[in-house]
Amino acid sequence: MAKKTVVADIDRGIYDVINEDNFSYKSDKGLTEEIVTTISNEKNEPEWMLNFRLRSLKIYNELKIPDWGPDISDLDMDNIVTYVKPKTSMTESWDAVPEDIKDTFERLGIPQAERESLAGVGAQYDSEVVYHNVKEELVKQGVIYTDMDSAVRDYEDIVKKHFMKLVPPKDHKFAALHGAVWSGGSFVYVPSGVHVDIPLQSYFRLNSPGAGQFEHTLIIVEKGASLHFIEGCSAPKYNVTNLHAGCVELFVNEDAKLRYSTIENWSRNMLNLNTKRAVVEKNGIIEWVSGSFGSKVSMLYPMSVLKGDGAKSEFTGITFASSGQVLDTGTKVVHSAPNTSSTINSKSISRDGGVAVYRGVVKINANAKNAKSYVSCESLMLDNKSKSDTIPVIEIENDEVDMGHEAKIGRISDDAIFYLMSRGISEEEAKAMIVRGFVEPITKELPLEYAVEMNNLINIELEGTIG
């Protein structure tokens, strides 16, 4: 079989299109009390939020960088710009968005997706949400869907009660960093008994070089309500380090259901240090659907705290690590009540020297009688230069538990490639078919436009790989 050349630095097409770095305000590099105070003043925030930011900054300066996981020594906060305000204000009219920003989102399929299949869309560019719209029928049902900065002002009591309660600044150094400099993001409130049948979507685009993006997503689904929320993220490639340290907090109340789907497609100069956490009350359900592409380093472990009797968590994730990437991802589940259940289905692909790590924790507390958990980790390596690790931690504190764990690591079979080629299929397409078959259980869980995006990303990643 003839060998193909490796394309070390792939062309990511529309995702790598760079706009001119236009802004109305950009903070100085680094992290100081003055910078944090200026961010809060620029946003005209209430005093309690400024105080929260300053407390978080103090905690950030006290905490150490985690001494486990991938190397993030490239991160130098003295050279990171934490706030970039685009030259526009938020609008509900797509026509009012500046042309360069609008063109970027049009290329990425926003708001085409809104026109075709979504109940509401938010679009963030650098540090601020520039466009937000939600269908009138949802507003009439009492659903609130807006950007976090507006929510701090307009729904202050709800935000103050929930903001960074699931992910407190003391959780780790980058949670504290987020608490100090967060900007933008989404706020969703679904009242009791309301079923949002069509998904809501937010898309986050970081354009400015050497900057960080720190969006905050806060979703509250009240008793008996349901929601599907979709997030997408991307950034063009620069030769300087960019940082993403967002935070997602999901409150799933009694008998409620939330599906949270995301595709993180950052560029190869991005350090993705994101924190996501959900708390699930009695008979509630949280479903995570997660795709991790791009970024130089990712540390991402969505966490479910099953707090109520009968609460359920499902995690479905795919990671694709290529040359120069270390994607350290997984999930955490804490069973804190009887009759709770969790299912974890994680798949990873590594090629051209990429490193894919599954790092997961399942903890079943002493009071979580009759808890059930099943973990499946599958890894596919496309060559002998790549690496895949599975690091599961399982802590069980009572005897009345049903627990299963399964892990598989393998390579694409030469026999399978040969068989497909003997049927007239090219080597490249044969490999792509096998990879698409491997990820199909994940792809089918995604909304249509994101399933298409995932397949496109897989095709991009596979271009020029070794046979």
Question: Count of domains in the chain?
Answer: 1
Alpha helical stretches, state H, 186-286: none
- Residue found by looking up tokens 């009797």 in the block: 309
Euclidean distance between CA atoms 216 and 141, whole angstroms: 24
> For residue 463, is it within any domain?
no
pLDDT above 70 coverage of the chain, percent: 76
* Banded model confidence at residue 417, pLDDT cuts 50, 70, 90: confident
56 neighbors 180 (Cβ within 8 angstroms): yes
Euclidean distance between CA atoms 136 and 142, whole angstroms: 10
Residue 441 vs residues 380, 435, 451: alpha-carbon distances, Å: 14, 11, 11
Q: Give residue 95's pLDDT.
A: 66
Segment (H or E) for 458: helix 448-462
Nearest residue to 165 via CA among 225, 215, 213, 220: 220
Q: Give residue 430's pLDDT.
A: 84
Segment (H or E) for 114: helix 112-117
Q: Give the number of C-alpha atoms closer than 13 A to the C-alpha of residue 462, restricted to the C-beta side.
A: 21
Chain centroid offset of residue 160 CA: 23
Q: Give residue 201's pLDDT.
A: 79
> For residue 7, is it within any domain?
no
264: exposed, middle or buried (Cβ count in 10 Å: 0-12, 13-18, 19+): buried
Nearest residue to 333 via CA among 371, 369, 305, 367: 305
* Banded model confidence at residue 94, pLDDT cuts 50, 70, 90: low
> For residue 109, is it within any domain?
yes
Give first-to-last CA distance, the chain, whole Å.
7
β-pair partners for 299: 328
Taking residues 436-455, report their average pLDDT.
71
Range picked from 30-44, 106-120, 196-210 for highest mean pLDDT: 30-44
> For residue 428, is it within any domain?
no
- Quote the DSSP letter at residue 385: S
Q: What is the mean pLDDT of the chain?
A: 83
389: exposed, middle or buried (Cβ count in 10 Å: 0-12, 13-18, 19+): middle
Q: Give residue 138's pLDDT.
A: 81
Res. 322: pLDDT tops 50: yes
Q: Record the tokens describing residue 323, joined without a space.
A: 């040359």
Res. 235: pLDDT tops 80: no
> For residue 207, is it within any domain?
yes
Euclidean distance between CA atoms 96 and 130, whole angstroms: 10
3-state secondary structure of 308: coil
> Residue 45: which domain range?
16-418
Which residue did the predictor score with more confidence, 356 or 115?
356
Q: Record the tokens describing residue 24, joined without a space.
A: 């109305």
Euclidean distance between CA atoms 51 and 45, whole angstroms: 10
pLDDT above 90 coverage of the chain, percent: 51
Euclidean distance between CA atoms 448 and 343, whole angstroms: 23
- Residue found by looking up tokens 């020594």 in the block: 73
Taking residues 206-232, report their average pLDDT.
87
> For residue 164, is it within any domain?
yes
> For residue 431, is it within any domain?
no
Euclidean distance between CA atoms 209 and 175, whole angstroms: 22
Q: Give residue 432's pLDDT.
A: 80
Res. 229: pLDDT tops 50: yes
- Quote the DSSP letter at residue 6: P
3-state secondary structure of 160: helix
Taking residues 358-376, report their average pLDDT.
97
* Banded model confidence at residue 86, pLDDT cuts 50, 70, 90: low
Res. 329: pLDDT tops 80: yes
Range picked from 141-150, 247-256, 399-408, 447-456 for highest mean pLDDT: 247-256
Taking residues 198-217, report their average pLDDT.
78
Segment (H or E) for 102: helix 99-107
Which three-class secondary structure string do you get for 417-452?
A: HHHHHHCCCCHHHHHHHHHHHHHHHHHCCCCHHHHH
> For residue 251, is it within any domain?
yes
- Residue found by looking up tokens 């299949």 in the block: 117
Q: Give residue 152's pLDDT.
A: 96
* Banded model confidence at residue 467, pLDDT cuts 50, 70, 90: very low
Q: Give residue 1's pLDDT.
A: 35
Calculate ∠ Cα 407-330-186, nearest 5°.
150
Res. 8: pLDDT tops 50: no
Q: What b-and-e string marks burial along 231-252, b requiring 16 or more CB atoms within 10 Å of the CB?
A: bbbbbbbbeebbbbbbbbbbbb
Res. 181: pLDDT tops 50: yes
* Banded model confidence at residue 372, pLDDT cuts 50, 70, 90: very high
- Quote the DSSP letter at residue 169: G
Q: What b-and-e string marks burial along 329-368, b requiring 16 or more CB atoms within 10 Å of the CB?
A: bbbbbbbbbbbbbbbbbbbbbbbbbbbbbbbbbbbbbeeb
- pTM (two decimals): 0.86
pLDDT in tens, 11-60: 445 444 445 445 556 788 999 999 999 999 999 999 999 999 999 999 99
Calculate ∠ Cα 156-161-164, nearest 5°.
105
175 neighbors 247 (Cβ within 8 angstroms): yes
Nearest residue to 204 via CA among 179, 228, 184, 181: 184
